[in-house]
């Protein structure tokens, strides 16, 4: 389907359907199978060199999902991976070789950093971390052998928004590629390829699946890079199950509806948090006074339910008292599902090019689809537990 003709809500409802069957179902069913059979030698020969030879290379269910994702984000081709992290690592392995130099944002998802520092280093690729606040000035860090500039906007935990068009302009002038981790932006809210991105990767685990029950990643590329990335992907044998692809495709249909509600609830809760004396800063690019808001407004068409909350200095025991008793907010490492989550985080040890400075702790909140009044009541009880600990300590 044509992105230029239809809006994302319409694409979500209609993309990736198989129309070649009379009486076919609306959503593509689960096509389980490893072996494909061919009645004649000529039939078998006719699929040589295509993706239609063997189950590992995909099936109608995975292809429906890939097609829908491409149409939404405006990519040429997509590849599904068993997790978001394999989408990241596969995109890097497919584009880098020994002796190459990689520029990596200092705000990157921590497991991506670990892959660069250990595996890429072992394969002779050097990584330089850069300040996510750099735009065109990133040119000072480009070397003759810089092949990839990796961006993640907004950044994990700290929600720094990057000037991707400015970075892409510099990268392309030096023959380097731009790879984006677009998990927060989603295929709906950030049009990667219109902003100069060459490869967009997602943890589909988060909003694309949307129901906290499947791990999956996706790599999307321009036409120029598709053959190279698909080739590597095929050589290392990555594949996902049709059952998981089916669930992701089913989740995808409601992506924009869910995101709208996640954003609306997140705004209500961020507003309420602003009024709490313990809150020092809210790191949510959709808020007018948040860092990166202007770039977010320029480049994104919406936000999601994930943001950071920096508290004023407080005791660890008090924060634990707050978090240990939450009724609705679960504690867990993921996000993007229909449910609310809260997590105590600390970006400081994961920074090398810049410093994360904060007197108080940093919380990461994922605002789900619950009624925001109930979520506020849960947070309010949490702050009361925190205050109780502080008051006992100060009255001693």
79-87, 135-143, 234-242, 384-392 -> range binding ligand PLP (CB under 6 A): 79-87
106 near ligand PLP, rule: CB under 6 A: no
Sign of CA dihedral 263, 267, 270, 272: negative
21-29, 77-85, 253-261, 275-283 -> range binding ligand PLP (CB under 6 A): 77-85
Site for ligand PLP in 322-361 (CB under 6 A): none
Residue closer to ligand PLP (CB basis): 336 or 372: 336
Q: Please, is 34 exposed, middle or buried when counting C-beta atoms within 10 Å of its C-beta (0-12, 13-18, 19+)?
A: exposed
Binding residue for ligand PLP, selected from 153, 183, 221, 222, defined by CB under 6 A:
183
Q: At what angle do helices 372-395 and 255-274 cross, to 10 degrees?
A: 30
217 near ligand PLP, rule: CB under 6 A: yes
Is residue 109 part of the annotated active site? The answer reads yes
How far, in Å, CA of 315 to CA of 347, rounded?
18
Binding residue for ligand PLP, selected from 205, 212, 281, 340, defined by CB under 6 A:
205
Assigned token pair, 51: 């993706």
Site for ligand PLP in 147-176 (CB under 6 A): 152, 156
Nearest alpha-carbon partner for 313 in 351, 358, 282, 273: 358
Residue closer to ligand PLP (CB basis): 18 or 215: 215
109 near ligand PLP, rule: CB under 6 A: yes
Instruction: Write down the least CB distance from residue 112 to ligand PLP, Å.
Output: 7
How far, in Å, CA of 46 to CA of 336, rounded?
42
Residue closer to ligand PLP (CB basis): 14 or 211: 211
Catalytic residue among 32, 45, 56, 143: 56
Binding residue for ligand PLP, selected from 8, 15, 28, 83, defined by CB under 6 A:
83
Beta strands in the chain (DSSP E): 77-81, 101-105, 126-130, 146-152, 177-181, 199-203, 217-221, 279-283, 306-311, 341-345, 362-366
16-24, 84-92, 134-142, 371-379 -> range binding ligand PLP (CB under 6 A): 84-92
Distances (CA, A) of 113 to 94, 122, 152, 306, 378: 17, 14, 12, 21, 34
List contacts with ligand PLP (CB under 6 A). 83-85, 88, 109, 152, 156, 181, 183, 203, 205, 215, 217
Catalytic residues: 56, 109, 181, 206
């Amino acid at each position: 389907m044509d992105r230029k003709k239809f809006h994302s809500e319409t694409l979500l409802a209609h993309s990736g359907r198989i129309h070649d069957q009379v009486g076919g179902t609306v959503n593509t069913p689960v096509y389980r199978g490893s072996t494909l059979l061919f009645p004649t030698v000529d039939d078998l020969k006719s699929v040589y060199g295509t993706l239609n030879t063997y189950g590992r290379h995909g099936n109608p269910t995975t292809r429906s999902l890939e097609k829908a994702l491409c149409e939404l984000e405006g990519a040429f081709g997509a590849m599904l991976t068993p997790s978001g992290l394999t989408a990241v690592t596969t995109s890097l392995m497919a584009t880098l070789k020994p002796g190459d130099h990689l520029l990596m944002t200092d705000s990157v998802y921590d497991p991506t950093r670990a892959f660069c520092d250990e595996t890429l280093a072992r394969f002779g690729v050097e990584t330089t971390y850069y300040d996510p606040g750099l735009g065109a000035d990133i040119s000072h860090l480009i070397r003759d052998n810089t092949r990839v500039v990796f961006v993640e906007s907004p950044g994990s935990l700290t929600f720094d928004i990057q000037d991707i068009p400015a970075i892409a302009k510099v990268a392309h002038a030096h023959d380097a590629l731009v790879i984006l981790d677009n998990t927060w932006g989603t295929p709906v809210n950030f049009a990667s390829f219109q902003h100069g991105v060459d490869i967009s990767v997602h943890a589909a685990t988060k909003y694309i699946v949307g129901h906290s029950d499947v791990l999956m990643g996706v790599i999307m590329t321009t036409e120029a890079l598709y053959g190279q990335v698909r080739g590597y992907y095929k050589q290392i044998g990555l594949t996902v199950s049709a059952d998981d692809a089916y669930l992701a495709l089913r989740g995808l249909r409601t992506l924009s509806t869910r995101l709208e509600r996640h954003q609306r609830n997140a705004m209500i809760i961020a507003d309420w948090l602003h009024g709490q004396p313990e809150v020092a800063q809210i790191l949510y690019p959709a808020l007018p006074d948040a860092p990166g808001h202007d770039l977010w407004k320029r480049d994104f068409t919406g936000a999601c339910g994930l943001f950071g909350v920096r508290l004023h200095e407080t005791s660890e025991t008090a924060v634990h008292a707050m978090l240990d008793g939450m009724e609705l907010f679960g504690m867990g490492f993921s996000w993007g599902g229909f449910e609310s989550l809260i997590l105590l985080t600390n970006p400081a040890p994961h920074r090398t090019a810049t410093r994360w400075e904060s007197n108080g702790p940093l919380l990461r909140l994922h605002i789900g689809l619950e009624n925001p009044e109930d979520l506020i009541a849960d947070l309010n009880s949490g702050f009361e537990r925190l205050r109780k600990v502080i008051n006992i300590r100060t009255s001693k």
